[in-house]
């Protein structure tokens, strides 16, 4: 079981101090949060992708590559990579590069996002959001599993003899989680490929996610990847922790009251009752998180949202410390003791390589630099001794 953090990368006014951090401050803060996550023994750090204020994470691969250089063990992921408005060729290239730079400590979560204007900004039509997501991932999967791809679809120009570079590390693609809060077609696609399914498990009652996860598990088994219980599931969650539960409630209330994500809707107490949000002592967070297994079955990855709503950096670092030392330490022991036999661990690069190659050495692809220019098939070199063409 992997435990970690996920960030939506918002830049929000602190309702207590009245101060809004700059983009520069928030970017440096997210690096400090990731480093703290590794320091206290968490397994995963994930950041979302957004292209509009008040968010800063428009280039998650750049950010995660920097964090990879400053950490040694932390698994790096996204929450989410936009499969609709990104070219799948660029996703294939950028995340394979991140995989190499991180030494295999990277995977990604694909999703459609929740910001409608992003579609026309990238020349896409939101009414085609679902077909875009399905087609683009079908191409991405081929780009990572086939050395040379011929492809034609609805939403981008055809590819002829195209090789995405760099090839995935050890010829094993980064593991993919498909994130969705309401779309069975995305759960179906995850099941078809034997990929992971991630439910953000933040804003909705448990029954909402139970239906999607149950459907994904059934279809995972239908496609022959294993039993429903062996399907790879990830969940989100929200927590604010203090040694005394009343202190947690008092400290978080002003942030809850003004946070844009809650929409001035139910009270904090109602929201805690109706959703996975936990504001309280470490034991209360432990107890509520353990109920997730009762609702969704054994699962492989649990990510917590702790750095949003204008919380200052020092408070977030305190939350990460409490999460790692007081909460996850217990959750590891309890989830391991309750896990049913045969339920797999969360996929890692090492486990995926081992599953494919066993004790053999992984294949190391070496794309042919002289195979042509991918358009005419002509040589990229102009003379017989292979001197590069001048530019």
**What is the C-alpha to C-alpha distance for residues 174 and 171, in angstroms, rounded to an integer?**
10
Rounded to an integer, the average pLDDT of 263-284 is 90
Find residue 302's DSSP bridge partners.
3, 235
Per residue in 62-103, pLDDT tens?
999 999 999 999 999 999 999 998 999 999 999 999 999 999
Q: What is the CATH number of domain 2-357?
A: 3.20.20.30
In the DSSP assignment, the letter for residue 347 is P
**What is the C-alpha to C-alpha distance for residues 301 and 326, in angstroms, rounded to an integer?**
18
Q: Where are the domains of the chain?
A: 2-357
**What is the C-alpha to C-alpha distance for residues 290 and 287, in angstroms, rounded to an integer?**
5
**pLDDT at residue 2, rounded to an integer:** 98
In the DSSP assignment, the letter for residue 83 is T
Q: Is the peptide bond before 285 cis (omega within 30 degrees of 0)?
A: no
Sheet strands (E) in the chain: 2-7, 44-47, 75-78, 81-82, 108-111, 149-151, 159-162, 176-179, 196-199, 233-235, 239-241, 278-280, 301-304
Q: Would you place residue 376 in the very low, low, confident or very high pLDDT band (cuts 50, 70, 90)? A: very low
Q: Are 281 and 240 in contact (CB under 8 A)?
A: no
**What is the C-alpha to C-alpha distance for residues 161 and 377, in angstroms, rounded to an integer?**
9
**pLDDT at residue 378, rounded to an integer:** 47
How many CB atoms lie under 10 A from the CB of residue 14?
Answer: 17
Alpha-carbon distance values, 197 to 155, 191, 213, 291, 363 (Å): 24, 8, 8, 19, 28
Per-chain mean pLDDT for the chain? 91
**What is the C-alpha to C-alpha distance for residues 177 and 347, in angstroms, rounded to an integer?**
10
Tokens of 213: 């996860």
Q: Are 137 and 152 in contact (CB under 8 A)?
A: no
Per residue in 274-325, pLDDT tens?
899 999 999 999 999 999 999 999 999 999 999 999 999 999 999 999 999 9
Q: Are 183 and 130 in contact (CB under 8 A)?
A: yes
Residue 385 has pLDDT above 90, yes or no: no
**What is the C-alpha to C-alpha distance for residues 257 and 375, in angstroms, rounded to an integer?**
56
Residue 139 has pLDDT above 90, yes or no: yes
Phi, psi of 27, rounded to the nearest 5 degrees: -65, -45
Residue 383 has pLDDT above 60, yes or no: no
Q: What's the half-sphere exposure (Cβ side, CA atoms, 13 Å) at 300? A: 19
In the DSSP assignment, the letter for residue 340 is P
**What is the C-alpha to C-alpha distance for residues 244 and 249, in angstroms, rounded to an integer?**
9
Rounded to an integer, the average pLDDT of 192-197 is 98
**pLDDT at residue 262, rounded to an integer:** 72
Rounded to an integer, the average pLDDT of 336-340 is 95
**What is the C-alpha to C-alpha distance for residues 63 and 300, in angstroms, rounded to an integer?**
25
Find residue 339's DSSP bridge partners.
none
Residue 231 has pLDDT above 60, yes or no: yes
**pLDDT at residue 263, rounded to an integer:** 61
Q: Would you place residue 121 in the very low, low, confident or very high pLDDT band (cuts 50, 70, 90)? A: confident
Q: Would you place residue 387 in the very low, low, confident or very high pLDDT band (cuts 50, 70, 90)? A: very low
**pLDDT at residue 52, rounded to an integer:** 87
**What is the C-alpha to C-alpha distance for residues 92 and 163, in angstroms, rounded to an integer?**
10
pTM above 0.85, yes or no: yes
Q: Are strands 81-82 and 108-111 parallel, antiparallel or unpaired?
A: parallel
**What is the C-alpha to C-alpha distance for residues 108 and 66, in angstroms, rounded to an integer?**
16
């Amino acid at each position: 079981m992997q435990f970690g953090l996920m960030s939506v990368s918002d830049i929000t006014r602190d309702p207590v101090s009245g101060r809004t951090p700059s983009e520069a401050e928030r970017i440096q803060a997210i690096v400090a949060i990731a480093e703290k996550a590794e320091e206290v023994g968490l397994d995963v750090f994930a950041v979302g992708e957004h292209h509009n204020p008040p968010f800063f994470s428009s280039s998650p691969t750049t950010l995660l590559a920097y964090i990879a250089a400053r950490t040694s063990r932390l698994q790096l992921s996204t929450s989410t990579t936009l499969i609709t408005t990104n070219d799948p060729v660029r996703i294939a290239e950028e995340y394979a590069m991140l995989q190499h730079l991180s030494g295999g400590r990277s995977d990604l979560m694909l999703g459609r996002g929740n910001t409608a204007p992003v579609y026309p900004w990238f020349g896409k039509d939101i009414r085609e959001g679902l077909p875009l997501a399905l087609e683009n991932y079908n191409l991405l999967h081929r780009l990572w599993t086939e050395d040379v791809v011929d492809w034609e679809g609805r939403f981008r120009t055809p590819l002829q003899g195209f090789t995405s570079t760099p090839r995935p590390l050890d010829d094993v693609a980064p593991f993919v989680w498909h994130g969705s809060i309401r779309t069975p077609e995305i759960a179906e696609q995850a099941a078809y490929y034997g990929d992971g399914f991630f439910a953000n498990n933040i804003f909705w009652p448990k029954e909402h996610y139970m239906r999607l996860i149950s459907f994904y598990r059934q279809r995972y088994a239908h496609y022959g990847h294993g039993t429903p219980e062996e399907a790879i599931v990830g969940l989100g969650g929200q927590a604010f922790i203090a040694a005394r539960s009343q202190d947690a409630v008092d400290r978080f209330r002003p942030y809850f009251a003004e946070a844009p994500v809650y929409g001035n809707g139910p009270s904090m107490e109602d929201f805690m009752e109706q959703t996975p949000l936990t504001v309280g002592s470490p034991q209360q967070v432990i107890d509520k998180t353990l109920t997730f297994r009762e609702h969704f079955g054994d699962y492989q990855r649990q990510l917590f949202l702790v750095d949003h709503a204008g919380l200052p950096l020092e408070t977030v670092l305190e939350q990460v410390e409490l999460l790692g030392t007081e909460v996850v330490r217990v959750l590891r022991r309890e989830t391991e003791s309750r896990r049913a036999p045969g339920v797999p661990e969360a996929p890692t690069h090492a486990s995926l390589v081992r599953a494919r190659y066993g004790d053999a050495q992984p294949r190391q692809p070496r794309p042919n630099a002289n195979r042509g220019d991918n358009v005419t098939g002509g040589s990229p070199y102009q003379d017989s001794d292979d001197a590069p063409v001048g530019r």
